[in-house]
Amino acid sequence: MTESSTSTRHEGHARHDRHAIALMGNPNTGKSSLFNALTGARQKIANFPGVTVEAKIGTTRFENSELTIIDLPGTYSLAARSPDERVATDALLGRIEGTPKPDGVVIVLDASSLDRNLYIGTQVLEFGLPAVVALTMLDVAESRGIKIDTDKLARTLGVPVVVVNAPKGVGIDELKSTLHRTLHHPGKRLELSYPDDFKRGVDTLHAELCDLGVKLGFTPTRPEALRLLVDGAGPFFDECEEVGGEEWTRKFFEIRDRAAAGRSLSMLEAQTRYGAIGQWMREVKQAEAREGRTRTDVVDGILTHKLWGSLVFIVVMGLIFQSIYSWSGPLMDAIDGGFGALGDWVGGMMGEGALKSLVVDGVIAGVGGVLIFLPQILILFLFIAILEDLGYMSRAAFLMDRLMSRFGLSGKAFIPLLSSFACNIPGIMGARVIEDRNTRLTTIFLAPFMSCSARLPVYTLFIAAFVPQIKLLGFLELQGVVLFAMYWVGVLFAIPTALVLKKGILKSKVTPFLLELPSYKMPRPRAVGRVLWERGGSFVRRAGTIILAVSVLVWAAGYFPRSAEIDEKYDTETSTLEKSYVAAVVKFKPDEDSESLLAQFKAIDDAHEKRVSELEGEKEEIKAATAESERQRDSETAELASKQSAAHADYENWKELAEKRADIDNRRAGEHLENSILGRMGHAIEPAVTPLGWDWRIGMAAIASFPAREVIVATLGTIFNLGSGQEAESEPLRKVVQDATRPDGSKLFSLATGLSIMVFFALCAQCAATLAVMRRETNSWKWPLASFAYMTTLAYLAALVTFQVASALGG
């Protein structure tokens, strides 16, 4: 929120050398590239409270004046059915806190479809702000045989018209100087010839609104009265109804009925505007009737073709999914390894204690936990930016709409939801391509149901431990079938959730799916790069802080309170152990740290085991080969030991000691964890999780995995005294999980427990990063909180049913 604090000093006393300019126009008009050409790198994202759209604010200079440019979301009309659509009008009138009040407006018009672009143009011009038209895509228009007389256009509209081509830098300076000149003259209000009774209606309503003004907290303008009269609903209407009460509503509809006189006011507005536009165009525009198909038509013939289009689509989607899912792997491993190494390095320089643990396990691990998501986010947005720039995104939506509309979504929800199978975070961020607010919110809410790759370690561990390795029908691996089923659990629950959301909370009377299919353009690397930079930065800055805070909190819950008693107990055990070895070990002074040395010795032993296990054939030969391998092992061990200036026997003793010491440390960590707040929370929720087949340890691991699901693996490692460095494929962890017992000696885990844990993790919202991104994208805590509550309840109930049914079936 601090970022939106663009100098409120602009407001009120605008000095001559500072002006704010709003940039408005249709989507796909080159508005963003114009904004980038004007402001360069000097831009930031403005936070609009209560809405899910955002605007960018940047600055540019012209001679001695500084221009603050506000890039408002592209829209086809100022009609506001949702708060998101209302933002444009509010921003234009300077009613958004932290965003300067525009002194003028640049209306961006796409010359290749000027008629439709002028629709919102006429709406903006009715506000009477000083305005300049930036005419883009003139080259595209000309290639289609459309000629625009810009002088006539300027005279007709009564505002200057500047031809711009932002990617080529054409017209930028002229636009600035024209703006500068225009700002010093009052704007001319556009007057369209509405029918008289309609005009009277607007005037009457305007007067009524001004009476309400005090209660509303602002003075409504005439164009707003027009909007309200035509729209007859929406956020502004709700606001008026709230402060004006029933009496106001009654009066409003009386005025509206009189103005309408049985006609549709939307029709009246559209016919007046397009009527005027049509007349202007007869003067301004010359269109040669060109037969022949445009390049876009030809490309569309393939890309939206029943067969070829579908094939291309499947390939593109496969590529996106594959790259997020697997290509990000090496980068993520590098980040993971890098932060692990950083933690070891920093930890090595610090003394044992709370501070070291905070820095290494809390902060460094937390920052790593934030950055680990970057590769997936950047890869998805690389694709989205290229496809969006190219014009393919709307074609993909066109192809998938039929399927997605069955679940109350639109075609545009497909890519975000597909990406969510790799990681929910880029999926949620990708939902911003959906213009419609309700569809976007539904998509964001559904994304966490898609089984992301962070759930995979949970599945891997429990499937390997409890699902028998048998084949169904002779060829289907049961383990594979269970894994496949886990991916479907989420989808299965997402479908009814989508339908309930659509019928319930987000009930919008069927959102219209009117989608412009813009002409294809070559993606511009700079624009793509900018999107990556913005998305990555926005994730790290806005979601990263929340994720880091949660990581530190959970670290603290697992660390405190620190019982001196436990430390004392294990210190005593360690020193007793060391004393018993003192004679044997005194000669052995490793010059490397014991862990890596132990690993080297172990590698030699493992190599020997491997050689022996590979032997087959005659007994005599095996004996000889085994003896040979043993000789090799002994000589290698002796060599390594002698490098550490000690005898082999000393090494054996030292190794035994080191292993026992590690065991003590692991038990110490386990007991500390049990004694920590987290451990106590585990005990506290035990009665609630018992029906799921869990005990306090699993309950605690579930809580500890709140920052990220995969943490459950490391937590189980610690609580079962194996140390925290466990991975899902780890053989010792699998064994200890299989063998773990309850206090009464019965087995803790069974197939039923394993399934119940997997189902829980398939459905729960245990991912601080997802929730943080959800809050960032919806601009409200309401959605992440609702998502967490809903998904946790669902996960609990589903795990409960799974366990009870599986147990009853004898799992």
Residues near other proteins (CB under 8 A) are: 76-77, 79, 81, 112-113, 115-116, 119, 144, 146, 230-233, 264, 266-267, 269-271, 274, 287, 296, 300, 304-307, 309-310, 394, 397-399, 401-403, 405, 411, 508-510, 512-518
- Shortest distance (Å) from residue 512 CB to other proteins: 4
Say whether 86 sits in a helix, a strand or coil: helix
- Shortest distance (Å) from residue 146 CB to other proteins: 8
- Shortest distance (Å) from residue 165 CB to other proteins: 19
> Could you give the strand order of the β-sheet that contains 131-136, starting from the edge strand earlier in sequence?
43-46, 55-62, 65-71, 18-25, 104-110, 131-136, 161-163
Give the residue with the Cβ less far from other proteins, 264 or 645: 264
* Tokens encoding 70: 């506000």
Say whether 764 sits in a helix, a strand or coil: coil
Q: How far apart are CA 754 and CA 463, in angstroms?
A: 7
Give the residue with the Cβ less far from other proteins, 114 or 646: 114
State the residue for tokens 């008009």.
29
- Shortest distance (Å) from residue 323 CB to other proteins: 24
Query: CB of 733 within 8 A of CB of 720?
Result: yes
| 707 DSSP 8-state letter | S
- Shortest distance (Å) from residue 112 CB to other proteins: 7
DSSP H or E run through 55: strand 55-62
Q: How far apart are CA 529 and CA 58, in angstroms?
A: 18
Query: CB of 764 within 8 A of CB of 708?
Result: no
Give the residue with the Cβ less far from other proteins, 115 or 609: 115
Query: CB of 91 within 8 A of CB of 102?
Result: yes
Q: How far apart are CA 773 and CA 429, in angstroms?
A: 7
In three-state form (DSSP H/G/I as H, E/B as E, the rest C), the secondary structure along 303-358 is HCCCCHHHHHHHHHHHHHHHHHHHHHHHHHHHHHHHHHHHHHHHHHHCCCCHHHHH
Give the residue with the Cβ less far from other proteins, 275 or 329: 275
- Shortest distance (Å) from residue 707 CB to other proteins: 40
Give the residue with the Cβ less far from other proteins, 80 or 164: 80
- Shortest distance (Å) from residue 690 CB to other proteins: 48
Strand pairing partners for 582? none
* Tokens encoding 601: 């010795």
Q: How far apart are CA 121 and CA 114, in angstroms?
A: 10
* Tokens encoding 281: 């165009």
Give the residue with the Cβ less far from other proteins, 304 or 730: 304
Q: How far apart are CA 737 and CA 740, in angstroms?
A: 5
The residue type at 666:
N
Give the residue with the Cβ less far from other proteins, 397 or 673: 397
Give the residue with the Cβ less far from other proteins, 230 or 704: 230
- Shortest distance (Å) from residue 414 CB to other proteins: 12
Give the residue with the Cβ less far from other proteins, 277 or 540: 277
Q: Please provide residue 59's backbone torsions phi and psi, each rounded to the nearest 5 degrees.
A: -125, 155
- Shortest distance (Å) from residue 160 CB to other proteins: 25
Query: CB of 37 within 8 A of CB of 169?
Result: yes
Query: CB of 121 within 8 A of CB of 157?
Result: yes
- Shortest distance (Å) from residue 107 CB to other proteins: 16
Give the residue with the Cβ less far from other proteins, 404 or 708: 404
Identify the CA nearest to 348 among candidates 336, 337, 360: 360
Give the residue with the Cβ less far from other proteins, 515 or 584: 515
- Shortest distance (Å) from residue 33 CB to other proteins: 19
- Shortest distance (Å) from residue 435 CB to other proteins: 11
State the residue for tokens 């959301």.
501
- Shortest distance (Å) from residue 754 CB to other proteins: 39
DSSP 379-438: HHHHHHHHHHHHTHHHHHHHHHHHHHHTTT--GGGHHHHHHHTT-HHHHHHHGGG--SHH
Give the residue with the Cβ less far from other proteins, 230 or 751: 230
Give the residue with the Cβ less far from other proteins, 266 or 326: 266
